[in-house]
Amino acid sequence: MQKLTLKSKVRFLEERYKRSVGKLLDPPVKQKDLTYIEFVLVSSGVNENFDAFPKKRLVEVYPTAIAKPIDCYHLLEETESYIVDENEIRFSRHPKNRNLNTIIGSIIDSIVVDDSGEILPPDEIEKIKKIENFELDNPIHIVCLGALYDFIFPKTIAALKKLVDQDKMFISVETFFSDWDYLLVEKNEVIKRDASTQFLDHKIGKEYKGSRVARILNDFIIGGAGFTQHPANPSSIILSLNSEDTNFAKQLKEFLELHDQLHSIYASNPSKEIEVSHSFVTKKIKELVMQNG
């Protein structure tokens, strides 16, 4: 599978998918302690880990993304329960350093788009649900809206914003599955997994009968999303990453600076025009403060 240049892919995909962003993926109430993120989570076809995602399954499971965690680098491990036993409670002990948890947000909405970025209508989704063959052409994509806990993890999210701006941070899907078949990629040939073909588990990503082997995830559901610098799906780009609080702070700072400049100008050149401008800026500052508590 040819490795794609991510930076050029990002620019290309942004133009395609941004037409869908903001149409359905708006939080019901925007909160200033959250940073909102929109991203392409997973695509149909074969990714660079040679996991194959059928179109049929994508349109069936895209709602399972909702309420799932967003973490950093898939670093999650529970070695013991967070809830201590009676003996530990008695001595006020806490389960420190037992688990690894980098969850910094959650997915709050998801949609399916075609490869041009148009949202798939319900009738098209129903048609795709009836597809029996594995299709490599005309991929579809799950696009998600997430909320990151900005007030709890400000340093981590500030670092992520810088990396996203530099096209150095992407998204990787997390899935749960227990049933899979095999795909000979170049031949687009499906091989059912059974006792006689299980040896192909050791051939994933390798060549077999003149074609590379991928694993078709038949029953997967979405388990979450992880920030990564090396996504297996080159289409898994971050479309937008913004904070209501950050936008508020930026606007307020700009208006306050303008307010001070108008004061200085008025001191040396009092005029009606400056008064009108001062009144407008003062009004905007009051509106921003009232809107953001």
Task: Output the DSSP codes for 110-170.
Answer: EEEE-TTSPBPPHHHHHHHHT--S---SS--EEEEEEEEETTTSHHHHHHHHHHHHTT--E
Mean pLDDT value across residues 80-106: 78
The residue count for the chain: 293
CB-based contacts of 145, cutoff 8 Å, min separation 6: 25, 26, 27, 36, 37, 38, 107, 108, 109, 110
DSSP 8-class letter at 6: H
pLDDT band at 262 (very low <50, low <70, confident <90, very high): confident
- Summarize pLDDT for 22-67 with one digit per residue, the tens: 555 777 778 889 999 999 999 999 999 999 999 999 999 999 999 9
Residue type, 139: P
Question: Is it the case that residue 12 has pLDDT exceeding 60?
Answer: no
- Partners of 216 in beta bridges: 52, 181
* φ, ψ for residue 188, nearest 5 deg: 50, 45
* Spatial distance between the Cα atoms of 199 and 202, rounded to a whole number of angstroms: 6
The two structure tokens encoding residue 69 = 């965690």
Q: Residue 266 to residues 77, 100, 256, 271, 272: CA-CA distances in angstroms?
A: 61, 58, 15, 7, 10
- Summarize pLDDT for 110-155 with one digit per residue, the tens: 999 998 788 899 999 999 999 989 999 999 999 999 999 999 999 9
- Summarize pLDDT for 234-261 with one digit per residue, the tens: 889 898 887 444 455 656 666 677 777 7
Bigger pLDDT: 190 vs 8? 190
- Partners of 102 in beta bridges: none
What's the confidence (pLDDT) of residue 250?
A: 59
- Summarize pLDDT for 203-229 with one digit per residue, the tens: 999 999 999 999 999 999 999 999 999
Bigger pLDDT: 28 vs 184? 184
Contact 185, 211 (CB under 8 A): yes
Of the candidates 157, 6, 142, 10, the residue with the CA atom closest to the CA atom of residue 70? 157
Q: pTM of the prediction?
A: 0.76
- Partners of 70 in beta bridges: 105, 225
What's the confidence (pLDDT) of residue 49?
A: 96
Question: Is it the case that residue 10 has pLDDT exceeding 70?
Answer: no
